[in-house]
């Protein structure tokens, strides 16, 4: 597994694990990120990422993005 920050723009990846405290995992789940889902990396700038999740896009800072393992 690797953090989603290592994925290239345009790459679709499977979310294998979301690490962190329960409240962090819950927050990411509310944004639409779930383990087992496939997401597409739209942009990756120095660890900050924009993801296509289902029918929407979300932006995550590097600290939050590092918790998503693909």
pTM reported for the whole predicted model: 0.89
Distance between CA atoms of residues 5 and 45, nearest Å: 9
> CA 35, CA 47: separation in Å to the nearest integer?
20
Helix (H) or strand (E) holding 14: strand 12-14
Domain range for residue 21? 4-69
Domain CATH for 19: 2.30.30.90
Domains: count for the chain:
1
3 state SS of 22: helix
- What tens digit of pLDDT does each residue of 4-38 get? 999 999 999 999 999 999 999 999 999 999 999 99
Q: Which pair of structure tokens corresponds to residue 64?
A: 């939050």
Note the pLDDT tens digit of each residue in 38-50.
Answer: 999 999 998 799 9
Q: Which among 67, 70, 57 has a CA at the least distance from the CA of 24?
A: 67
């Amino acid at each position: 597994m690797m953090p989603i920050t290592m994925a290239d723009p345009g790459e679709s990846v499977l979310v294998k694990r979301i690490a962190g405290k329960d409240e962090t995992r819950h927050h990411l789940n509310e944004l639409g990120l779930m383990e087992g889902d496939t997401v597409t990396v739209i942009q990756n700038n120095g660890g900050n990422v924009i993801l296509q999740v289902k029918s929407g896009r979300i932006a995550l800072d590097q600290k939050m993005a590092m918790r998503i393992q693909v």
